[in-house]
Chain A
Amino acid sequence: ETGVTQSPTHLIKTRGQQVTLRCSSQSGHNTVSWYQQALGQGPQFIFQYYREEENGRGNFPPRFSGLQFPNYSSELNVNALELDDSALYLCASSSGQGYTDTQYFGPGTRLTVL
C-alpha cells in the first residue's frame, strides 16, 4: 500500500450540492495532486498543492477548489455539482515538485451526482 488515504470511499450527491473530499498524504510527502477520472478515461489533472500553496491547475472551473493543511493533508471542494462531475477522484502525494518525483495514488473517492 502507498500510505495515501482518501475519504470517503463513496459518495452520492444531487445536482447543485457541494462536496468535500479528503486526502492524507504519505508520511514525508509535501506535495498533493488531485485528479478526476471519468468512466473509460484516464485521470485528468485538477490541481496540485505544494507546502500549502496551489502549484498548478488543470482545465477545471473555479467551482473546483482545494486546500492543503500544515500536515500536508488536503481537501478538494466542488461547488454546484453537475452530473458530469460523477467520477473517481484520486489524490497523489509526492516528496517534491520535481518531475522525476514518483506520485503515489490513494484509493480514490467515487462520486456519483444524481
Chain B
Amino acid sequence: RKEVEQDPGPFNVPEGATVAFNCTYSNSASQSFFWYRQDCRKEPKLLMSVYSSGNEDGRFTAQLNRASQYISLLIRDSKLSDSATYLCVVNRAGYSTLTFGKGTMLLVSP
C-alpha cells in the first residue's frame, strides 16, 4: 500500500464550482500534513498546512481526520488560475522529509 494515496483525477470543473480532494495516509506516526500545489513543469509550492482542528485560507479549507488517517482540501468558487496538480504531503515525527502523494489534477474551465 502506498504511504500517501490520492485520486489522480483529472477533476474537470467550471469556474465558480466547489471541488473537494481527498487523501489517505498509511503511517499512523505521521505528524505534519500539507497540501502543495504544482503547476505544469514547475516546482511544488506550499498551499497550506493542515491542522487537526481544520483550517481555512480564503477559498481553501483543509481538514484532517487522524482516526481515519484522512486529509481533505476544499476549494470554493474555483478560478481558472486554480488549475494545477494538488499534492497531499505528510511527514513523520522526528523526520523532516516529506512523503508526497501522486497528486490530483484540477482543470477549471470557463
Contacts and interface: CB of A to CB of B under 8 A. Distances in A.
B102 interface: yes
A31 B96 CA distance: 10
Nearest to A92: B98
Interface stretch (B13-21, B40-48, B62-70): B40-48
Contacts of B91: 99
A75 to B, nearest CB: 18
A40 interface: yes
Given A40-B102, A42-B87, A101 B96 contact: yes
Contacts of A94: 96
Contacts of A43: 44, 87, 98, 100
A103 interface: yes
A106 interface: yes
A8 interface: no
A42 B45 contact: no
B96 A42 contact: no
A28 interface: no
B96 A48 contact: yes
Interface string A56-74: 1010000000000000000
Given A90-B43, A90-B44, A105-B45, A42 B93 contact: no
7 nearest A-B residue pairs (beta carbon) = A42-B100, A105-B43, A45-B97, A42-B102, A43-B100, A99-B32, A99-B91
Interface of B: 4, 8, 31-32, 41-46, 87, 91-103
12 contacts: A42-B87, A42-B100, A42-B101, A44-B100, A45-B98, A48-B96, A90-B43, A90-B44, A98-B96, A99-B91, A103-B46, A108-B43
